[in-house]
A and B are shown apart, each in its own frame.
Chain A
């Protein structure tokens, strides 16, 4: 019995490890579909709509990569992952990339053997409380029951925050955002903590969002970004430069409205020309064709359009650009040049 189980585990581990060693780009092309790990459902970032079609900020990034690599923004298989299952899913090769509000940390980058390809949302951890509790600061939460998603950096930040402030709390570990929402609304926990963007997205789905408030303290830096397996640099480059293309497109004023016109022939701006493939051979260097960036941008628009459509101020989630504005507008969103 013992031996059977042991070898079963080894088999699983070795199959998993075997899968991850192959070249991801070839796998994706052969499959004709991109497997993209997303959340199990966080409105605005990744959630299926009423027709079962996935949409959101992270989903649009998956679609942009699929469009760049495969030429079809819909050739994506969305794999819902929890905070706990996401890394195993990526390491085992079940997904080709993860676009799932994942915080870039040293240990994940180095020890877990992943490559974060950039930051697509600068976030921080906050606390959601009901207004009637009369709490105005996270430091007033002494003795509170806190709902927290397990296997996240927020879980560790929470422990650090309460320890640093010498106050106590009772953690209620939960698996998914939906569970957290259910427990929080039923009053099984006093506060729900996760990334402030996630809290805003969760709050937007409440019956009475105005009864709840996100406390002013942001207790951590949470740079969220897509990630791929360490070691397959060719694939990592493609995903990284797809993100950079979306960011540069906003900076350079390329939108889904004018991209057809701009990519028809070489224009005045050499960087736009290089990016859209009317000049130079950047696409070829990545192992793709010349139109890769054009397709990526056409999939859902540039970074600003994707932001505005899914989580921007006109949506129920109503997140301001803040740190996520372009560097020219005082934010941190910045892409290396296309050259």
Chain B
């Protein structure tokens, strides 16, 4: 049985730069969300750059049990979903004297950002 306490458990997430994803940092105890945000900065962001913070009360988190996590395992037969299943195209394009437009090439087309590194 859990003891009564004014503390609640929060999981802390933060973003390092405006373009990065939120990353889980750790958990902390705080009486409410507002204090949790203050504590999150004190506890986990004393040095690293940070542009945004989320705190989530643990009672609002829904997760998987150890047994249900096993259902996440995938069979290794899904090549048609990934570029791995189409790797043979590289050789085909070479035959036609063209370079294959692979993931690295395509994701470099963002424009305004990184230029071709060739």
A and B from one complex: no
Which positions in B face A, CB cutoff 8 Å? Answer: none
Which positions in A face B, CB cutoff 8 Å? Answer: none
